[in-house]
Amino acid sequence: MKRKLALIQMSCTHDVSTNLQRLTQKIREAAYQKANIICLQELHNTLYFCQEEKVDYFDLAEPIPGPTTNHFSALAKELGVVIVSSIFEKRAPGLYHNTAVVLDTDGSVAGIYRKMHIPDDPGFYEKFYFTPGDLGFHTIQTSYDRLGVLVCWDQWYPEAARLMALEGAEVLIYPTAIGWDPADPQDEKNRQREAWITVQRGHAVANGCYVVAVNRTGYEAWEGVKGIQFWGSSFVAGPQGEILAMAQEEETTLLVEIDLKRSEYVRRIWPFFRDRRIDAFEDLTKRYRD
């Protein structure tokens, strides 16, 4: 059972309408090239605003359904594709989430996922903006496949990937916004990027499934901040961790064909699910074993 994925790696501007216009064109181009599932990067409507804590940036949020989901819903229906988008969700006054929205081929909202792990690091002040997700780790069934959609910081947690796989995720998808502090030395930059790639390849291996990471690219700085150089490097890994395709730092759309039958084959020769000692894992729910 083969699928064609499209990963749209793009640099963003301050202007929402420009970003949406460019994304729309890139989605159309991917659909023309027979992509079935089109994946967008994290918070693709704007520059990455979490570089500072500023109340005015809450004005960038919108409800679901709202202008962005309505736009991509109509596009998904027109083109007959699945679109994985990423929204700054305004759920209620004072309650906001970092939310992935999956639009199905008929234009319906197949499901949403609210980012569960929220970072708070220099340049990534997400706890100021986002309430941790309350929907848990649940897959989203589309007209094509069952997707396990997670968001950025979630990609460092093997538990999140495993729970999605245990609920039948055939592909794990991570809309992402990750980059370097320009002041970091080159060796540190290399270590960070390689760690990011390695941990997600590990999710593919441990769960015998495909992993998709679609990252931002380009240098972004709001007024008064030093900015982030997003490293791109969007990639797809196969169920043995093999890199099927990887972008560099420039804008690009990766088109990758996957064969879901391969996941079944890999799980037969590496039966990690069979051999899990679920009778001995209860301490995983503890913060720390004292």
In 167-265, the DSSP E strands lie at 171-176, 179-180, 210-215, 217-220, 228-231, 235-237, 243-246, 252-259
Which residues neighbour 21 within 8 Å (Cβ) at sequence distance 6 or greater?
none
End-to-end alpha carbon distance in the chain: 47
Which residues neighbour 203 within 8 Å (Cβ) at sequence distance 6 or greater?
155, 158, 161, 172, 211
In the structure encoding, which two tokens stand for residue 280, read together?
């001995």
Catalytic residue among 26, 152, 209, 220: 152
| Contact (CB, 8 A) for 144 and 3 | yes
What separation in angstroms does the CA of 277 have from each of 267, 272, 288? 17, 10, 19
Catalytic residue among 26, 42, 90, 170: 42
Does the active-site annotation cover 39?
A: no
Catalytic residue among 90, 115, 126, 170: 115
Give the H or E element holding residue 111: strand 109-114
Does the active-site annotation cover 152?
A: yes
Active-site residue set:
42, 115, 152
